[in-house]
Amino acid sequence: MVSVPRLVIAAPASGSGKTTVATGLMAAFAARGLAVSPHKVGPDYIDPGYHSLATGRPGRNLDAYMCGTDLVAPLFAHGSAGCDLAVVEGVMGLYDGAGIQAVHEVLGQGGGGRRAGQGELASTAQVAKLLKAPVVLVVDASSQSRSVAALVHGFASWDPEVRIGGVILNKVASDRHEALLRDALDESGLPVLGVIRRAPQVATPSRHLGLVPVAERQSDAVDAVRAMGERVRAGCDLDALLALARTAPALADEPWAPAYAAGPGAEKPVVAVAGGAAFTFAYAEHAELLTAAGAEVVTFDPLRDEKLPTGTAGLVIGGGFPEVYAPELSANEPLRRAVTELALSGAPVAAECAGLLYLARELDGKPMCGVLDAEARMSERLTLGYRQAVAVSDSPLAAAGTRMRGHEFHRTVLEPAAGTTPAWGMHQPERRVEGYVQRGVHASYLHTHWAASPEVARRFVEHCRAHPAR
């Protein structure tokens, strides 16, 4: 049984202030001495970094598309174990699910192809129902007064299974504006749990894929999270919010666990995992799965470290922003040579998105590792969306025929997009092959969540164990 008090922070639409309010609540409750468990709906890698700063705990994602609905509550239970409160930041608008990404694709902003009929799948509303959690609706009130009541009434009555427990009004202009909003909402029956005045935005700079990650602006990010906490603490009724969180009923789901018995006396191969400012995209469960499968996980920074960790038997290079750091990554020739030598030796290498670009011959004209005979460059086109994929051939990551769900999110192009032995055959939104499998390398744009397929981590570690360490 899971009885952690919890809140889902949602909004009618993107840009309403969910991240500021959710992160601010995490920081404000943590400052009270509560152990706060931070969560994010969907495949976002960046917001959880700010959540982690606010709470001192790993930010964790809850993705009903990539992991399946059955894993949402167990993953939540795993992350929130021992905590006094869990705060879950939603994604997009409350009822927007996987189907909204078809809009980007149809408009020519994504990977192409048409997809519809996803319904509530992967929406904040679906996750709130799976967690039986009350929802707090953050409303941008900057351009409305009485209409706010109609908006809130519509969201509260749309799905009777979604329990909206209150409203936080954001970007309120004045005392008079607040009074008009409160009078209107009195008729809705939903309490106003906070009012945040219109003010200069907290310094959280963005670029082509969203907020700048915490790892790239550590001290400034700390200041930003502190400012969010102060703004929320000043404008919100924390006692009422905590009382609402405590109305969430117990969940019967058992916590997810990355347990896997490697066998007595099994060798613990070193798996090097790229980190630092250029490679910030990673799910916390991946390292946990690798460790449970018997690996010794060691993080290194391709911007600073000139060699791989001692005894490296396998390499994981996740997502991030190598395009921002292409000159620095290129200048670190000793590490590039070490990565190339490891890959050429046949050692297991798993590369996602940024990792794919790092293994290419060059990125925006800057030499990279040259493991793959491909060139990468920045593009004006955003590729965004959930994907269904099947492994085309055997690799240390997946056996041929393995089916997985994943996500693409990038503004770069790789030419050619696939090698002679591709990594994946995509089945949604359109049919195509993508990525590279060669020697022990599996490299692709596709982000996957290994908690949905723990055999991926087991297989990878077993291949590392069979390969001589370098």
Are 411 and 379 in contact by the 8 Å Cβ rule? The answer is: yes
Which one of 67, 353, 369, 464 is the catalytic residue? 353
Distance CA 280, CA 82 (A): 26
Q: Helix, strand or coil for residue 95? A: coil
Q: What Cα–Cα distance (Å) separates residue 324 from each residue in 188, 255, 304, 372?
A: 48, 38, 15, 20
Q: Helix, strand or coil for residue 283? A: coil
Bridge partners of 86, per DSSP, are 6, 37
Are 193 and 244 in contact by the 8 Å Cβ rule? The answer is: yes
Distance CA 182, CA 192 (A): 7
Distance CA 68, CA 65 (A): 5
Q: What Cα–Cα distance (Å) separates residue 407 from each residue in 89, 172, 411, 441?
A: 19, 36, 14, 20
Distance CA 202, CA 224 (A): 6
Based on the residue annotation, tell me whether 353 is a catalytic residue of this protein. yes
Tokens of 107: 């408009």
Tokens of 12: 């009618």
Q: What Cα–Cα distance (Å) separates residue 313 from each residue in 9, 269, 348, 468?
A: 42, 6, 7, 6
CA 303 to chain centre: 22
Instruction: Please work out, in degrees rounded to the nearest 5, the angle formed at the alpha carbon of residue 318 by the alpha carbons of 317 and 320.
Output: 120
Nearest by Cα to 352 from 316, 326, 394: 316
Longest dimension (CA), the chain: 71
Helix axes 284-292, 455-466, angle to 10 degrees: 50
Tokens of 121: 């799948």
DSSP code of residue 418: B
Are 174 and 199 in contact by the 8 Å Cβ rule? The answer is: no
| Residues labelled as active-site residues | 353
